[in-house]
Amino acid sequence: MLHLALNLTLFVAALFWLGVACWVYRDARRRSRDLRVIGASTLLGLVPVAGPIGYLLIRPPETRDEAKSRRIEVEALESWLRREPPSCPTCRAGVDASFLVCPVCTTRLKEPCAGCSAPLAPTWLVCPFCTLDVKAPPAYDLDAALTAEAALQSVGPRHNGKRAHRTQEAQAS
């Protein structure tokens, strides 16, 4: 019985040992592309107890995914810092992004939005602030249309009949 318990303990310990070594191998692969680093880490992970602890102390501080996202963040920040300040296309004077005309040479820079008066760049098709279509005709006044329809219906049954007929025609087509 004691023999069996000892065997079982040894088996669990061996399983744990292999599991830890396997984790070290996978962790090393996530942190390095270098086969020598991965191989050395795995060998270190195979040393019972001290190996994995030593690996935790000396492993690369961030995973390759973390390093990549940090690199992308730094690049985005750098390009944001390098960006050109807006300038007038005619006289190259520095202008603010919200200017409608250049204050130096009076060149028209932007058109105000019909909906919210925000300055719109000439290439925009929709206002980013109030979502109004810049190229579209003025919005259809739904309130006025409904009021007109209510007035029409209150006139009499003759109009109602005519309207019903028109609706049938519209549904048929």
Nearer of residues 40 and 132 to Zn ion, judged by Cβ: 132
Nearer of residues 38 and 127 to Zn ion, judged by Cβ: 127
Cα 116 from Cα 129, distance rounded (Å): 8
Q: Which phi and psi angles does 70 have, rounded to 5°?
A: -65, -40
Nearest to 103 by CA among 112, 111, 94: 94
Binding residues vs Zn ion (CB under 5 A): 88, 90-91, 93, 102, 104-105, 107, 113, 115-116, 118, 127, 129-130, 132
Minimum CB distance to Zn ion, residue 119 (Å) = 10
Cα 84 from Cα 36, distance rounded (Å): 45
Cα 160 from Cα 128, distance rounded (Å): 43
CB atoms within 10 A of CB 31: 20
Minimum CB distance to Zn ion, residue 141 (Å) = 18
Nearer of residues 24 and 88 to Zn ion, judged by Cβ: 88
Minimum CB distance to Zn ion, residue 131 (Å) = 7
Nearer of residues 32 and 107 to Zn ion, judged by Cβ: 107
Minimum CB distance to Zn ion, residue 135 (Å) = 13
Supply 54's token pair: 């030593």
